[in-house]
Chain A
């Protein structure tokens, strides 16, 4: 297990190994399990993600029990076919996969939490877009997940990944940082560039609050994953272009931790402040649960 991003990057540089490889080796050693076992488990996670992405954008899409959300991934799929998108097809493909996954999650379908269920669309948005864009094979896709997970472990152990403790920055922000770092590796970038991509991505979402309407993982959670994926791709591109984060990755993580600790409770997954606290947010809560706060 790695204590810091600096340690992870310097170990990868010294050993001349990709971060995904270090993460696989650490998992085998720390958990005392075979490489085969570890690989199979991650492959199963990848398959689960693929199913959710395709289920959410299939037919009329999926809809949550509350009726608040659903069907947007299908709208985006159709729009991509019939229009010249403003932000480009690659970004909109990431948006589609991210939203499809979180719509499945909101409809109580099966997803893989990455790192959480509320932020489960961000990584698939990045990964399945890069699959087509870079022609990734299965091995590269599984490695993408190990790299993302390795960065995520450092974030989780030095800050947090729960909206109730750190706000949405800890969920979608962390997922976006993980996705950016892993995108750099599959695109052939260096471990240092991965760290820069993670730092840029988290910095861009620093301070994001967790304000789910009626306490449901629907609004604004689903759309925020679209931003998480797009932000990851942009941050990865910037790092690959040679742009650097002024603040080192580990300090960005620690800043996120402090911002989360200073966030009022009403903005940490209580369904009280932010969008949840607006007249419309409160009215929706009343309609669904018949209870005012």
Chain B
């Protein structure tokens, strides 16, 4: 048994704009995660589709769903179906590529997003597993590849190696407020990134606490 669906509202819900929970609502969620990871709206986005996403994205409105998420909209936002036009008006360049190969994260509903703005470049690989629930299976941030396990919520804590921040204070707060199943520490020459897979979905109030207290935290 997996425990990918943890809440009854993963099954009864979400409330959303049609037509597909996996290809529309799930795609909005992948776009939202990309927005959260980037820390706002990027200038350029290249979306690579694999499997069923590559074959049916046009019929399912997956393009406007991803664009809506990148702009920070919810799946039930009435602007979802106009999001591509809204993005164009804001001067954001979003392109979609139908990839023919195997999904790099091994799921038929895969979207890999490259987000570019200034000299910042991040990549997020998500899959939509059904009913609007998604998994983020790979993140590339500051040139470091991170492989979270399980569904959202995921917390990333980014420190530069000169800061010598060992993340102890954050870990204490997480243990107290948002317990995690798994922790990973990933490094390159410049950065150390701590990644936490939380046991439960992060509640809004608690998310606010972490975002206010820690400057370099990313909550997905």
Contact = CB atoms under 8 A, between A and B. Distances in A.
A271 B172 CA distance: 49
B7 to A, nearest CB: 6
28 contacts: A23-B8, A31-B6, A42-B12, A48-B15, A104-B18, A105-B18, A106-B19, A108-B19, A111-B18, A112-B13, A113-B25, A114-B12, A116-B20, A117-B24, A146-B12, A149-B12, A153-B10, A157-B2, A162-B109, A164-B52, A165-B129, A171-B130, A215-B59, A216-B59, A217-B19, A269-B23, A269-B56, A271-B55
Interface string A16-31: 0000000100110011
B76 interface: yes
Contact of A45 (B12, B18, B19): B12
Interface residues of B, number: 48
A289 B58 contact: yes
Contacts, number: 191
Contacts of A217: 18-20, 59-60
A115 interface: yes
A11 interface: no
Q: Which of B59, B60, B129 has the most CB of A within 10 A?
A: B59
B131 A112 contact: no
Interface in B41-87: 51-52, 55-61, 76, 78, 81
A214 interface: yes
A161 B11 CA distance: 9
Contact of A31 (B13, B76, B131, B201): B201
Contacts of B132: 113, 116-117
Given A44-B15, A269-B22, 10 more contacts: A110-B16, A110-B18, A110-B78, A114-B11, A116-B20, A153-B11, A157-B2, A161-B130, A164-B130, A165-B107
B1 interface: yes
A160 B129 contact: yes
Q: How large is the interface on A (under 10, 10 to 19, 20 to 34, 35 or more residues)?
A: 35 or more
Interface of B: 1-25, 51-52, 55-61, 76, 78, 81, 107-109, 128-132, 200-201, 203
Closest 6 A/B residue pairs (Cβ): A162-B130, A215-B56, A215-B59, A105-B18, A152-B11, A149-B8
A58 B2 CA distance: 41
B21 A113 contact: yes
A158 B1 contact: yes
